[in-house]
Amino acid sequence: MSSKSQRDGDFGQYLSQLIERQIAAYQQTSAERHRLHLQEWDSEGDYRTLHEVELFADYIAGYMARVTEGDWVKSEDVKKAIQDLQGYRIFDIPGFVEWYFSSASDYPKLKAYIELLDYSRLLTIEYLVLYQLDTED
């Protein structure tokens, strides 16, 4: 097996393990998500942290699934995925950042889940950059 194939296999396996960790972490946040939902439901304003976290999780999971399935047809797809993932930084969203630094400590499992998601986003970007470099050779 070539070193590139070995690396791709190892990376894909690690991303698959991360997906499993995300699922487990998500399930462990049930009570905290419920509490946050109730808190946000009673508050005024349109911004909902929980909604933003759910969108972020779905977004990351979609790209991770494509990577682990090897579902890349053209290098333009990879370039767009890299740009999309680099552009969707949950810590650039003011309402989320305000919640994270003021209230997230009240939700330690949810906070850890969000950090795992962001780590997964960064690792997926790293894999795609390596994949892109390999296909340019």
H-state helical runs in the chain: 3-28, 30-42, 49-69, 75-87, 94-102, 108-136
CB 54 within 8 A of CB 37: no
- What does the pLDDT profile of the chain (137 residues) look like in tens digits? 455 555 566 777 888 899 999 999 999 999 999 999 998 887 777 778 999 999 999 999 999 988 888 766 566 788 899 999 999 999 999 999 999 999 999 999 999 999 999 999 999 999 888 877 776 65
What pLDDT, on a 0 to 100 scale, did the predictor assign at position 33? 95
What DSSP state is assigned to residue 72?
A: -
What pLDDT, on a 0 to 100 scale, did the predictor assign at position 76? 76
Q: Where are the domains of the chain?
A: 3-136
What pLDDT, on a 0 to 100 scale, did the predictor assign at position 68? 83
pTM score: 0.86
What pLDDT, on a 0 to 100 scale, did the predictor assign at position 42? 77
Closest C-alpha to 113, from 101, 104, 122? 104
